[in-house]
Chain A
Amino acid sequence: MFIAALGALLFLLPFIGIALRLPWMRLSEIFGDPETRAALWLSIRSSAMAAALSCFFGAPLAYVLARRAFPGRSVIRALMTLAMVLPPVVGGVALLFTFGRNGFVGARLDEWLGIRLPYSSAGVVLAQTFVAMPFVVVAVESALVRQDTRMEEAARTLGASPLTVLRRITIPTIRPALLAGAALAWARALGEFGATITFAGSFPGRTQTLPLLVYSTLDTDPGAALALSFVLLAVAVVVLGLLRDFWFAGMSDRGKG
């Protein structure tokens, strides 16, 4: 009990630390600042986009990893885990060598389609998706692996088409896991710093997300940096809190189904 309390304190105290030093009087000034608003807005848009892309590509990938045996499956699984533990700066460097204008993909994108990802908002989304998608894949895959496949088989033997099975059985049963993965992916994307600064750089309104602005103002205006950090924390806590209720609701639904 005592040890548990100490453990909880480690996470509680920094919150109090920020709240104590927060320049409450200047909050409206800080959030009225166009640069802050631009960063906040960019962060919200890019992280939502990254979470959506992570689900769109991550869920099918998780399904294939869980249900189909194919050569190289363990390699892809390992890559997913690697991407989760990789220092984000290293991820950013890898993206730069791949999608940068001298990278083997980036050079062709530029030449054929005129698309340049570095230093663009799309580059921010790419960097965030890179670090966030594994969370969706891992969450959904582990749910699928644990899932009892007999229900799907039963539905098939009763004449349901593969699409109906997917839509009526598979997706509803993995929904809590998908939501959990999406929420983690979104939170990870919102806080993303290393890959973004390395691959997309930092320019107000275009690639300067909230974490980048926090870093940049830490030296010149620590009060503003604290306030912005607090916003990041608050947004994450509120959304994750809401989703948590939602997951637990989802879990109990499954019991009824």
Chain B
Amino acid sequence: MRTALIFVAITLFGCGSAEGDDRIRLDVVAASSLTEVFEAIAIEFETSNASIDIAFSFGASSEIAAAIESGASPDLIAVAEPSVLDALMSDDHVVEPVQYFATNRMEIVVPNGNPKDIASLGDLARSDLVVLLCDPAVPCGRYSSQVLANAGVRIAPASFEVNVKGVLGKVALGEADAGIVYVTDVLAAKERVDGVAIPKDKNVVAQYPIAIVERSSDQQEAERFVAFLTSEIGVRILRRHGFGAP
């Protein structure tokens, strides 16, 4: 359903540059976790590339990949887990090689002030806590179970939320005591939630690849955006939003 909607959105609004002027429209589909940082980067990019407009569509990594698989043709796709692009690569939907431009880590998210005194992954197994995880169908959920396995912790979550926002929102509202989300999500919502770091040896490194879509008619401009992402300014903005270097 969501895949279909994204597909419709991309085909309806993603028909390349507007006729009449020479501005080029770059359609970028990206993982939800990139929302804030990509919007910040686009502002910088557009000031130095006045002839290019960037239009984003954010969604679950697997959904945006599925939309391209079923015929949508944005110019670029950026996701939160390399394996999401496997099918697109084997069916030649994207130009290879893909470029890794950022990394992310997981963090425990708790309501402001950490009212339940959660200090480690082990605490998440406490029976007095309502703990939320992302659904194992999305990258965030797979990374979370990997982190818990690394720490040898078994927990009984109250719910598997369909995406990061579900976990973050309910923790911020105080409807859950803790959850596991990306470091960058905690940073983006730092007015409403606090983070409890997960030690490096227990944590995972989520690699973010970006790829140019084979059917894109503006490949040169797409390349320029990728180059900008990995440029000094791009890296600085990514850092500021909590992403690591690839």
Stretch of A56-64, A197-205, A244-252 on the interface side: A197-205
Residues in B neighbouring A77, C-beta threshold 8 A: none
Cβ B137 vs Cβ A119 within 8 A: no
Cβ A101 vs Cβ B175 within 8 A: yes
Q: Given contacts A102-B174, A119-B158, is CB(A219)–CB(B130) below 8 Å?
A: no
| Of listed A100, A200, A222, residue having the most chain B CB within 10 A | A100
Residues in B neighbouring A219, C-beta threshold 8 A: 60, 62-63, 66, 137-138
Interface majority SS (helix, strand, loop, mixed), chain B: loop
Q: Given contacts A197-B166, A219-B137, is CB(A202)–CB(B173) below 8 Å?
A: no
Q: Does residue B161 face the partner (Cβ distance < 8 Å to A)?
A: yes
Q: With A and B bound together, what is the CA distance between A118 and B135 in angstroms?
A: 17
Given B2, B3, B62, B132, which contacts A201 in the complex, CB threshold below 8 Å?
A: B132
Q: Does residue B24 face the partner (Cβ distance < 8 Å to A)?
A: no
Given B138, B158, B162, B174, which contacts A203 in the complex, CB threshold below 8 Å?
A: B158
Q: Does residue A96 face the partner (Cβ distance < 8 Å to B)?
A: yes
Cβ B160 vs Cβ A201 within 8 A: yes
Q: With A and B bound together, what is the CA distance between A56 and B158 in angstroms?
A: 30
Cβ B162 vs Cβ A216 within 8 A: yes
Q: Does residue B157 face the partner (Cβ distance < 8 Å to A)?
A: yes
Residues in chain B within 8 A of chain A (CB atoms): 1-3, 60, 62-63, 66, 130, 132, 135-138, 157-162, 166, 170, 173-175
| Of listed B170, B173, B175, residue having the most chain A CB within 10 A | B175
Cβ B3 vs Cβ A119 within 8 A: no
Q: With A and B bound together, what is the CA distance between A200 and B161 in angstroms?
A: 10
Residues in A neighbouring B157, C-beta threshold 8 A: 203
Given B60, B158, B162, B173, which contacts A102 in the complex, CB threshold below 8 Å?
A: B173
Q: With A and B bound together, what is the CA distance between A118 and B132 in angstroms?
A: 12
A64-88 interface bits toward B, Cβ cutoff 8 Å, 1 = contact, 0 = none = 0000000000000000000000000
Q: With A and B bound together, what is the CA distance between A253 and B1 in angstroms?
A: 42
Q: Does residue A15 face the partner (Cβ distance < 8 Å to B)?
A: no
Q: Nearest B residue to A199 by beta-carbon distance?
A: B175
Q: Does residue A104 face the partner (Cβ distance < 8 Å to B)?
A: no
Q: Given contacts A101-B174, A219-B63, is CB(A119)–CB(B159) below 8 Å?
A: yes
Q: Given contacts A201-B161, A219-B60, is CB(A102)–CB(B175) below 8 Å?
A: yes
Cβ B175 vs Cβ A202 within 8 A: no
Q: With A and B bound together, what is the CA distance between A224 and B130 in angstroms?
A: 30
| Nearest 4 interchain pairs by C-beta | A201-B159, A219-B62, A119-B158, A219-B137
Residues in B neighbouring A200, C-beta threshold 8 A: 159
Q: Given contacts A119-B130, A217-B137, A219-B66, is CB(A203)–CB(B159) below 8 Å?
A: yes
A49 to chain B, nearest CB (A): 20
Q: Does residue A218 face the partner (Cβ distance < 8 Å to B)?
A: yes
Residues in A neighbouring B158, C-beta threshold 8 A: 118-119, 201, 203
Q: Nearest A residue to B156 by beta-carbon distance?
A: A203
Given B1, B2, B66, B161, which contacts A202 in the complex, CB threshold below 8 Å?
A: B161
Given A96, A100, A216, which contacts B135 in the complex, CB threshold below 8 Å?
A: A216
Q: Does residue A157 face the partner (Cβ distance < 8 Å to B)?
A: no
Q: Given contacts A119-B130, A216-B137, A217-B137, is CB(A202)–CB(B174) below 8 Å?
A: no
B116 to chain A, nearest CB (A): 13
Cβ B173 vs Cβ A207 within 8 A: no
Q: With A and B bound together, what is the CA distance between A216 and B160 in angstroms?
A: 10
Q: With A and B bound together, what is the CA distance between A215 and B3 in angstroms?
A: 11
Q: Given contacts A119-B130, A202-B135, A202-B162, is CB(A218)–CB(B3) below 8 Å?
A: yes
Q: With A and B bound together, what is the CA distance between A43 and B181 in angstroms?
A: 29
Q: Given contacts A101-B175, A119-B130, is CB(A197)–CB(B3) below 8 Å?
A: no
25 A-B residue pairs with CB within 8 Å = A96-B173, A96-B175, A100-B175, A101-B175, A102-B173, A102-B174, A102-B175, A118-B175, A119-B158, A197-B162, A201-B160, A201-B170, A202-B135, A202-B160, A203-B158, A203-B159, A203-B160, A216-B160, A218-B1, A219-B63, A219-B66, A219-B137, A219-B138, A220-B62, A222-B66
Q: With A and B bound together, what is the CA distance between A208 and B158 in angstroms?
A: 11
Q: With A and B bound together, what is the CA distance between A119 and B63 in angstroms?
A: 26
Cβ B60 vs Cβ A202 within 8 A: no
Q: With A and B bound together, what is the CA distance between A102 and B176 in angstroms?
A: 10
Cβ B175 vs Cβ A220 within 8 A: no
Residues in B neighbouring A203, C-beta threshold 8 A: 157-160
Q: Given contacts A101-B174, A216-B135, is CB(A202)–CB(B63) below 8 Å?
A: no
Residues in A neighbouring B130, C-beta threshold 8 A: 101, 119
